[in-house]
Structure formats: C-alpha cells, structure tokens
Structure 1
Amino acid sequence: MCFVSDVLFWSFMAMGKLVWLASYPKSGNTWVRAFLHNYIVNAETPHSINSLVDFSVSECAMAFFGAPGEVLTPQEAQAKRPAIHDALTRLHEDLVFVKTHNANLSLHGVPLCSPGVTAGAVYIVRDPRDVALSYAAFTGKTVDEIIAFMAEAGAANAGDGTQVFELLSSWSSHALSWVAAPRRLLVRYEDLLAEPERYFGRIIRFLSAPGTAVAPDRLRRAIDFSSFSTLAGQEAKEGYRAGGPSGEKFFRAGKAGGWREELSPAQAAAIWAAHGGVMEKFGYPRD
C-alpha cells in the first residue's frame, strides 16, 4: 500500500524504512501525527484522531510484542525490539511513521530505536516548563512529582499490558539523544504554534524529494484540520482512545508559555536548575 508515494522522500529507503516521530511526552507528537495524516489523506474533512494508526504506529504497543495483557520486563522487551522494528518495516511498501517517546539510547545492549531500519526522524521539542504542566494533568500526578521525574536519568514509562516500557531518561538527556541522531529534523512546538505554515511546511519538505513543492492549499488545510480546536472538538464528540490515565482531556490548551502563570517561582527555578543549559541550546530563555 503506497499511501505516501507522492509525498515522501524515497531515497531515505536506501537507509531504512522507519521514520521516527519522536518526542518527550506531551510535546506535540500527536499533533504532528494528526497533521501528517491530514496532509497525506488530503480529504475535505478532518481525519479522525482515533484513526491515527492508519498511517503511523506506536512503537511501544503491546500488540507488536506479545499477547494483550502480557507484561514484559525491560530485558524481555529489549530482546524483542530489533525483530519488532524489522517487522514494522513491512507494514507498508514505503516509509513507515513510528511514534516513540523513547530516548535515542541503548538499554541492555540493545538500541531503543534500531538504527539499521531507520530512514530518519522528526524530533519535536517543547519548553519543559510547559511539558511539566501538561504531563502532570495527563498523568494525574502533581507538578512537583513530574518535575522530579523529568530530572531522573532512569525515568521510564512502565509496561502495563497495553504497552511495553519506554525509557525516557531525563528531559535533557532525551533531547540531546535525538539531536545527535543522523538524518533528523528538529522542530520546536512553539514554532509550530507561532508560524505553522513555515514549520509544518518544513516537515513536509524534509520528507519530500528534492525539488518537490509543498502544495499551499493542501498544507493550510492539513494545519487547519489538525488545529487544537479541531482536535479538542473531536475528543469532546467521540472521545480519544489514547487519552491519559487521569481522565483529563488529552487536548488541553495547546499553548506556549502557560508556565509563567501556572508554575510557582520555585518550580520554575527547579526546572531551570535541572535543564537550563540544554534549554538555552533550544532557545528557551530563563524568564
């Protein structure tokens, strides 16, 4: 099924077939997936948020690793990961989009994102102060708990029968691990919000053959159909099956800089103390 042959950069495939859509949690991964689906489908109505598996998959889904309800240890999951990633390349004839929150690291001697089958990566980064607020609402934990979690080198999402574990590491380590990846495009959440045509267009150009023009109307429609108001409206109407354990809305405000009103000075200072050096590399100021 060649669903993206008119869009994607086929020369990537000499290197591999998986295009990682990578981010720390609550950094815009689902938003970018929705945009790509709408751009690829190019329909007259928005693509359903509950159909984001049409053209992309979640790498950690238990369905790829074993029986539903089975809980694998990190060692067991890592032993299976290379074969799983190889199998993912056969889901489609062309490139395969794979969502991951894993850091681009190795564990138990096995890469979390197998380089041999990788075509490239789009990495979405977001100000960790806004991440902390959104992640706390998503998980039902306190902001202070999430701030501490984001500073842990061994931070991970545990396997639970629906997914295998994901190694996030600290926010800083996560970001630096993907910046070091070859054939990757870095996009900031804040830039996607501020100048969507420019930066979503950059994603399409990264994935397109040299000289391929981005269709302006198609781009604008995909941006509109994946806007936060559209996604939130879909969630309110039909629910979102990948919503968080806390029962809170998955698509909240979708804004940048909310930390200035919602974080205490001590909380903002704690995040800066843990990640300030890396935040500056991505253009996030202290104040």
Structure 2
Amino acid sequence: MKNIIWLASYPKSGNTWLRAFTGALFGLEPISEQGRFAAFSTQCNARDAFQTAFAGKTAPKTDGTLAWRQPFQRQLSENVGNRRIFCKTHCRYSSQSGEDLFAADVALHAILIVRNPIDVCASLTNHFGVGVPVALNMINNPDAAMARNSTRNFEAPLGDWSSFTRSWLEQSDIPLSVMRYEDMFFEPEKRFGAFAAKVMGIRDPEKIAAAVKASAFDNLQERETRFGFDEKPGGAERFFWKGRPYHGLDMLDSAAQKAVWLKHGQMAERIGYRFENGQISLAEPDASLPVL
C-alpha cells in the first residue's frame, strides 16, 4: 500500500513549518503543551520510531549499513494501514554509493521543500550553535551527514546542498512536488493551499486560512517560548529563530555569500533563485520542476 508522504528537505528549509501547517489542517495544535508535534507525522531517523514500528517483531539490524531503512518504511506503512502518514526526512534520496534509502513501493508522494542556500547556511549557525565557516563547510561538503554518533536519531546522509537537492529532483520512483520556503512566506494561503489540495484533496479556503494562521511563524515562536520544543538541538538558541527570507544577507559577509553561490548557484538558479549585487530575488523556476 502506498501511504507514506515524504516531507524532504535540507535542514533549516521549512520542513517543520510545513508539518505544523499539516497538523493544523487536522485541527491539532502545532506544538502541544508537552512541546511536541502530534502523531500524524514521524521522523524517519528517530530511533524511538524504529523501535515502535517493530514492537514485538524482529527488527533489521541498523549497524554498519543503511539497508534497514526500506524494511522500516514498509513496516511503518503496514502499521498505519489505510491511513496516510507524513514522514520527515533530511536524507538525500540515495546514498553517495548509490544505495537506495527509500522504499518507493510504499511511498505515495514526496514534497521537496527548498530554501535559498545563503539563508540555509545562516540558519545552520543557530541550529548547531556554530560559526559561519562551519556552516559553510557543511553545505559545501559532499559527505555531510547529520546525527552521527547520536543516541536519539540514526545518521542522516545529507551531502552538500546541491547534491541533496539534485538527488530528489532527479529521482523518478516517487511522485514529487517542490515547495520554496520564500513562496510559503510571501504567499502562504496560495502555496499551503496548493499543498493541501495536491496531497490531501482539501480545498476549503476557510480551513486552509485557519491552518495558515495557526502555523504562522510568530505563533510557533510563542508556543516554543511557552512549552519548549523537543526537536530543538541543545546548541540552538531556539528552533523557530528568524523565519524571514534573506536574513542570510545580514549574517554572511560578502565573501561567504559569494562562496555559497559559487558552489550552489547553478542549482539555485534552476529552482528560481537569483543572486546579484548582494541581493537575492525570486524568478520563475525551471519549467520542468513541479513547483506548487
């Protein structure tokens, strides 16, 4: 049964924001009083999700290989039955060695959330509590990964920003739609509405507007302040930090901005980002991309 909807993104690109909107569509508070998201979604790298999926069953080994991922996804699909489940991932579509990480036979759809790489680099500094040089090295590193040596999550193979994005755009196994963070910010009802219609068949403008309001960035910040948020890394000032587009221009000096664009400009321009005279702007993405 195809019932998994993947929400895929490079870190700090709007994945959690989209999950908050989805939860609000179901009438759920984006962040509960316990500082968590509701169980309509899961993180495919979470060790506790893996343990829950195989409760009372023989689980595949997770050491030394990524081959456990597809059996886990199939088990998760079986467990939810006729329901759809949203799965967050920061994993590239396939590993550097070409090993398949996703079970297409149980995947209904995938949403690739993208954000311009200068802002991604800036937001990574807060998320991991590091300086710009470290964040820049991460988004430029073809071997980058998250959660290495973590006791909470399994390792997530990332790669650099361009190769991560390419891995999802160029796969043909799972139907794909693309959402740009900046479109979500500037045209929330239009873009979130397109997502709701495409993925869930929901077209009620009042319901969409209410979910957009409930998942607005300032509301997420306020709820994080009141209740905390269990997905915030220990080194981060807060999870919902800046939110506004193009804040990376204030945080990265001109040399760092140019270094990002030198590495990722070709892919960014394919998605419809322009960087000229120290400014970022939006343009039409490549016509072949299924942008919502």
With the length of structure 2 as denominator, give the TM-score of the two structures: 0.84
Kindly tell me: are residues 203 and 159 of structure 1, through their superposed partners in 2, closer, same or farther at Cα, counting changes over 3 Å? farther
After TM superposition, list the pairs within 5 Å mapping 1:245-256 onto structure 2.
245-256=234-245
Specify the code of the residue in structure 2 equivalent to 1:79. A
Alignment of 1:238-249 (within 5 A): 238-249=227-238
Which one-letter code corresponds to 1:166 in the other structure? A
The whole-number CA distance in structure 1 between the counterparts of 2:262 and 2:231 is 32
Residue of structure 1 equivalent to 2:75: 87
Match of 1:40 in 2: 26
| Contact 2:30–2:220 (CA under 8 A) maintained in structure 1 | no
- 1:191-230 pair list within 5 angstroms: 191-209=183-201, 214-230=203-219
* Residue 190 (str. 1) matches residue 182 (str. 2): yes
Partner residue of 1:178 out of 168, 172, 185: 168
Which residue type is aligned with residue 185 of structure 1? S
* Map of 2:16 onto structure 1: 30
Identity of aligned residues (%): 30
The 8 Å contact of residues 65 and 80 in structure 1, kept in 2 or not, is answered as: no
Bigger CA drift: 124-133 or 47-56? 47-56
The alignment covers a number of residue pairs equal to 262
Q: 1:47 to 1:264 in 2, by over 3 A?
A: closer
Q: How does 1:49-88 map to 2 (within 5 A)?
A: 50-65=35-50, 75-76=64-65, 78-88=66-76
Matched residues in 2 for 1:191 and 1:171: separation? 19
Residue 73 of structure 1, CA deviation: 6.9
Structure 1: runs of 5 or more not aligned: 1-12
Q: 1:136 to 1:74 in 2, by over 3 A?
A: farther
How many angstroms does 1:149 deviate by? 1.2
Cα RMSD after superposing both structures: 1.9
- Per the alignment, residue 55 of structure 2 pairs with none
Partner residue, 2:226: 237
Q: 1:162 to 1:23 in 2, by over 3 A?
A: same
Residues 74 and 165 in structure 1, CA contact (< 8 A), matched pair in contact too: no
Q: CA deviation at 1:261?
A: 1.9
Moved more, 112-121 or 220-229: 112-121
Rounded Cα–Cα distance in structure 1 between residues aligned with 2:266 and 2:252? 20
Question: 1:91 Cα shift?
Answer: 3.7
Deviation digits for residues 145-179 of structure 1 (CA, Å, limit 9, x no counterpart) = 11111111111011411010000111001111111
Distance 1:245 1:112 in 2: 28
Distance (Å, rounded) in 2 between the aligned partners of 1:274 and 1:75: 31
- Following TM superposition, by how much is the alpha carbon of 1:107 offset from its aligned partner in structure 2, in angstroms? 5.7
**8 Å contact from structure 2 (residues 10, 114) kept in 1:** yes
Deviations 1:48-69 (A, max 9, x none): 25342420000000124459xx
Q: Deviations over 1:221-268 (max 9, x none)?
A: 100100111000000001011101214111012000112222100000
- Which aligned runs of 4 or more in structure 1 are off by greater than 6 angstroms? none
Provide the secondary structure at the position in 1 that maps to 2:274.
Answer: coil
- 1:160 maps to which of 144, 147, 150: 150
CA distance in 1, matches of 2:198, 2:109: 10
Contact 1:73 1:159 in 2 (8 A): no
**CA shift for structure 1 position 133:** 0.8
Cα 1:66–1:55, aligned 2, differ >3 Å: closer, same or farther?
Answer: closer
The amino acid that maps onto 1:163 is N
Q: Which amino acid in structure 1 is aligned with residue 134 of structure 2? A: E
In structure 2, the residue corresponding to 1:121 is in which secondary structure?
Answer: strand
| Superposition TM-score, scaled by structure 1 size | 0.86
